[in-house]
Amino acid sequence: MAALIQAIVSGLVTGSIYALMTVGMTLIYGTLRTLNMAHGSMVMIGGYVSWMLFAGFGWGPLVGLVAASMVAFAFGIVIQQIAVRPLIGRTGFDFEMTAFISTFAVTIVLSNVALQIYGARNKAVPPVIRGRFHLIEGVSVSWHSMVMAAVAITMLVGLGVFLSKTRYGLAISAVAQELDAARLMGIPVGRVYNLTMAVSSALAAVAGVLLASVFFVSPVAGDLPLLKALIVAIFGGLGSIRGTILAAYVIGLLESLISLYFGVKWSLPTLFFVIMLVMLVRPTGLFGRPQEARL
Amino acid sequence: MAAGSDDARSALVREMGWRRPNLFAVAGVLILAAMLPLVWRNDYVIDVALTALIWMILNQSWNLQLGIGGIWNFGQLALFAIGGYGAALVSLHWGSPPWLAMIVGGLAAAAASAVVGIPVLRLRGIYASLLTFSFGEVVRLLVISDESGLTGGSFGLSGVPDLAFGGLSPDARQRAYYWVALALVVVTAVVVHAFIQSPLGTALKALRDAPGYAASRGVSPLKMQVITFGMSAFIAGIAGGFYAHYFGVIAPSVMGLGPMSLFVAMLVVGGLGTFAGPLVGTALIMVISEYLRDYDEMRLIIVGVILLVTIVLAPRGLVPLLQDAWRRLQRWMAEDEAGDRGGPEEAASDPPTASGAGAQEEVTR
């Protein structure tokens, strides 16, 4: 029983982090129609920023959170300008395909630049708070996981408020819902694209800082998060934020339950088969709308 | 006037019809390629050229889906690896002849492609790429974390037996491998070319460009995708089998983002969806990457930058770009000739041809 509760707790923590990583990806897809393959690199960059602050100044990950989100914010804008913007509105080409490839190229460049600068060795970052928190008999969570879940949930709620209450957030929602109408209302779409990429990248970097203390920071630190984010995004349906968050928790719980009963080795393959089943029933994910209807 | 319009018409017919490869050019390139190991007696160069040939087979198979079929399969490397592992396992454990093992590898890849292909059949665009990409990653991570000894985990399988070149000296053996690889490239190219030109290929392109219209005209998306997936995976599997037998090793490091970035760069730089694109792109990226051999980590950075610049500035790739330039040059020369013959009407009859051909291009693209 204790093992089950333990698995559920850790599933919820993982789910929060997955939600934080994926929500930016789905936001970008909803607004820019770009599957951002550079999203994993933002997780990596977040980790490196946190490590540099720790190794250079001895500052903990909390400072890293702020710094990493600012750095990733800037990166998001640059990537949008370099890799996505020139592709928009070209006739005769599949925008989604070219944007997929161009952001993929960005991810190659970024992870190899990181390899060049920092080398292939893993870098360790300390957790925000050390020690474990004993929930009940036999069930304990590390304080860092609690912080991870708390930060992730705060960020998600903050994102929700930002998107539904603030002027800039509403502009993003408007562009995602109805591009032409948004343009007619005088929303500067180019700037909204920049903002979307920047905010989403910052969220991914926050996830990166938090994950850096659990795993290590390395040039390939973004690969697994990217894969997990892709799985969550397929499961929830691209472009649907609520679906993505729900899917993140489902995937997180599923993963820790599978690890509990069948071993860690089986978590990815089982997840993949679950995804395939979902795809067979609902080709656009649980909450995604068919692409024709969204064009 | 009559002669001029005939010329114009035949030019139009040429542009509208299937583009035939220039037989002399093809034969010339082939002879040069076949002569390479005899002329340039350098183990290292031949090894690189051989690797490039294997990648050409793989890229041709990938282009069939990605470029011509418009099916966003980003799990092709997993199929390549499955072919390699299949062939390696069969020849390691059962001692079957390597030729047979390669075919088994191809069949294994085709079977695996059914696993990923059937769900993908229902998906278009970005969802297909998501699913296939994660399929590839899952296969890679599974192999790496495999401790049962079947696949050898992250070290891979080694000691895969030779193709039956036992009695030859090392040099001759390498040359034999080279010619087999070249033959495989040619066979693949012929098969792919025949497929593209057949009604099946036309149907596939129609599905890519206008799925709804093609389906309503009686092209079955299901059947076409199954055929394309199976064929492409089979070719990739054969390439994987050959790779395993040539290098004697197959490891999970052939998959993943690093290798995939190289192959995607080859395809995109050469020109997705064109017949010659994957071949030219592979050769080009291999040459560039060999030039940068001394700066190991810079290599992928530069390849990434090349990929980015290509997709931003010339998204159709180099081959269509060069073809366009060549056609424009020819048209310009033809105009000049017409001008020399002094008929103003001929000169005037040219532009409509040009625009007509241009419109045709737009439609086929």
Report pLDDT digits (tens) over B181-233. 899 999 999 999 889 888 888 888 888 888 888 888 888 888 888 888 899 99
Q: Over range B171-189, report the average pLDDT.
A: 88
Chain B residues close to A234, C-beta within 8 Å = 127, 130-131, 134
Give the angle B15-B21-B23 at the CA atoms, nearest 5°.
135
Q: How confident is the model at residue B345 (pLDDT cuts 50, 70, 90)?
A: very low
Instruction: Residue window 287-316, chain B: list those with CB within 8 Å of chain A.
Output: 297-298, 300-301, 303-305, 307-308, 311-312, 315-316
Whether residue B350 is predicted with pLDDT greater than 50 in this model: the reply is: no
All domains in chain A, ordered by first residue = 2-294 (1.10.3470)
pLDDT of residue B72: 84
pLDDT of residue B134: 82
Shortest alpha-carbon distance between residue A94 and chain B (Å): 9
d(CA B43, CA B249): 19
Whether residue B348 is predicted with pLDDT greater than 50 in this model: the reply is: no
Q: How confident is the model at residue B165 (pLDDT cuts 50, 70, 90)?
A: low
Among B123, B141, B257, most A C-beta atoms within 10 A, so best to mutate, is: B257
pLDDT of residue B341: 60
Chain A residues close to B312, C-beta within 8 Å = 82-83, 86-87, 102
In chain A, pLDDT over 90 holds for what percent of residues? 28
Shortest alpha-carbon distance between residue A165 and chain B (Å): 30
What are the distances in angstroms from CA A261 to CA A248, A250, B107? Answer: 20, 16, 34
> pTM score, two decimals?
0.83
Shortest alpha-carbon distance between residue B318 and chain A (Å): 15
Chain B residues close to A18, C-beta within 8 Å = none
In chain A, pLDDT over 70 holds for what percent of residues? 97
Q: Over range B136-149, report the average pLDDT.
A: 82
pLDDT of residue A30: 85
Size of interface A-B (CB pairs under 8 A): 120
Whether residue A279 is predicted with pLDDT greater than 80 in this model: the reply is: no
Residue-by-residue DSSP string for chain A: -HHHHHHHHHHHHHHHHHHHHHHHHHHHHHHH----TTHHHHHHHHHHHHHHHHHHH---HHHHHHHHHHHHHHHHHHHIIIIIGGGTT-TTS-HHHHHHHHHHHHHHHHHHHHHHHH-SS-B----SS-SEEEEETTEEEEHHHHHHHHHHHHHHHHHHHHHHHSHHHHHHHHHHH-HHHHHHTT--HHHHHHHHHHHHHHHHHHHHHHHHHHS-B-TTTTHHHHHHHHHHHHHH-TT-HHHHHHHHHHHHHHHHHHHHHH-GGGHHHHHHHHHHHHHHH-TTTTTPPPHHHH-
Whether residue B361 is predicted with pLDDT greater than 60 in this model: the reply is: no
φ, ψ for residue A130, nearest 5 deg: -80, 170
Highest mean pLDDT among A156-165, A233-242, B244-253: A156-165
Q: Over range B98-102, report the average pLDDT.
A: 85
Shortest alpha-carbon distance between residue B155 and chain A (Å): 17
Mean pLDDT of chain B: 80
pLDDT of residue A60: 77
Q: How confident is the model at residue A212 (pLDDT cuts 50, 70, 90)?
A: confident
pLDDT of residue A295: 31
Q: Of B143, B137, B76, which Cα lies nearest the Cα of B109? A: B76
In chain B, pLDDT over 90 holds for what percent of residues? 17
Whether residue B365 is predicted with pLDDT greater than 50 in this model: the reply is: no
Q: How confident is the model at residue B81 (pLDDT cuts 50, 70, 90)?
A: very high
Residues 6 or more apart in contact with residue A77 via CB below 8 angstroms = A194, A197, A198
Least confident of A188-192, A278-282, B64-68: A278-282
Whether residue A105 is predicted with pLDDT greater than 60 in this model: the reply is: yes
The predicted complex's ipTM stands at 0.86
Cα B188 from chain centre: 9
pLDDT of residue B132: 87
Shortest alpha-carbon distance between residue B140 and chain A (Å): 11
Q: Does B253 touch chain A (CB under 8 A)?
A: no
φ, ψ for residue A234, nearest 5 deg: -65, -45
pLDDT of residue B354: 40
pLDDT of residue B272: 86
At B23-75, the pLDDT tens digits run 777 888 888 888 787 778 778 888 888 899 999 999 999 998 888 888 888 88
At A124-177, the pLDDT tens digits run 887 777 777 777 777 777 888 888 899 999 999 999 999 989 999 899 888 888
Question: B268 and A112: CB-CB below 8 Å?
Answer: no
Instruction: Residue window 42-101, chain B: list those with CB within 8 Å of chain A.
Output: 70, 72
Q: How confident is the model at residue B349 (pLDDT cuts 50, 70, 90)?
A: very low
Whether residue B18 is predicted with pLDDT greater than 70 in this model: the reply is: no
Question: B123 and A283: CB-CB below 8 Å?
Answer: yes
Question: B131 and A234: CB-CB below 8 Å?
Answer: yes
Chain A residues close to B118, C-beta within 8 Å = 280
Q: Of A191, A114, A84, which Cα lies nearest the Cα of B308? A: A84
Q: How confident is the model at residue B20 (pLDDT cuts 50, 70, 90)?
A: low
Domain locations in chain B?
33-255, 324-364
Burial class of residue A94 (count of CB atoms within 10 Å of its CB; 0-12, 13-18, 19+) = middle
pLDDT of residue B8: 60
Q: Of A111, A82, A101, which Cα lies nearest the Cα of A35? A: A101
Whether residue B363 is predicted with pLDDT greater than 70 in this model: the reply is: no
